[in-house]
Every structure is written in C-alpha cells, then in structure tokens.
C-alpha cells in the first residue's frame, strides 16, 4: 500500500492521517539493503510497540492498521497469527 493510501485508511478508521507513523514504518523502503524487504524491520508486534513508545497509543493503532494492510498484500489473513518480531516475520515467509 502506498503512503497516501495508508493515510487515507487512517483518516477513515482513526480520524487522522498519522503520516509520521507511516513514514517511520516504511523508513527502510527503497534502500539498497532492503527494498520491499523493509517490512521485516518494523512490520510486526515489536514494531507496533516501538510505535507506541514514539507516537503513543493512537500511533500504535495506526501502526497495526498499516502493518495488517501490508501483510494482506503478502497473502496473510486475519486467521494467521501476527508476526512477533523480525525473525518471526522472516520465519513466516512474509518477506
């Protein structure tokens, strides 16, 4: 999902765009080291908790929403468990 789409989804569900959260989650996107594999860095439960530290409870909600949308692009469903951390994300084959 694109940055603008994440912001629109956040507005629709949470009442504001939370752009800073989406930028933070995707900070590694497009880098030489990660590219689309950037998601393994923060797109998991540990990333949600880090977002809570930086952006508060609403930021954590926006982070979880962002992550779920991106996971669904990779074939994840709400029946699947939510990845715990980077190692778990990779183990689940989500990158």
The model's pLDDT over 37-80, given as tens digits with 9 standing for 90+, comes to 888 899 999 999 999 999 999 999 999 999 999 999 989 999 99
Q: What is the pLDDT of residue 5?
A: 97
Range of the domain at 86: 3-91
Cα separation of 52 and 48, whole Å? Answer: 6
Number of domains into which the chain is organized: 1
Cα–Cα distances in Å, from 35 out to 10, 24, 54, 56, 58? 24, 15, 24, 27, 27
């Amino acid at each position: 999902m694109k940055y603008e789409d994440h912001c629109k989804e956040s507005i629709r569900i949470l009442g504001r765009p939370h752009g800073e959260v989406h930028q933070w989650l995707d900070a590694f996107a497009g880098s030489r080291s990660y590219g689309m594999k950037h998601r393994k860095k923060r797109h998991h439960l540990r990333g949600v908790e880090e977002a809570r530290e930086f952006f508060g409870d609403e930021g954590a909600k926006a982070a979880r929403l962002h992550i779920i949308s991106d996971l669904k692009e990779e074939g994840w469903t709400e029946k699947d468990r939510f990845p715990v951390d980077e190692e778990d994300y990779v183990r689940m084959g989500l990158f």
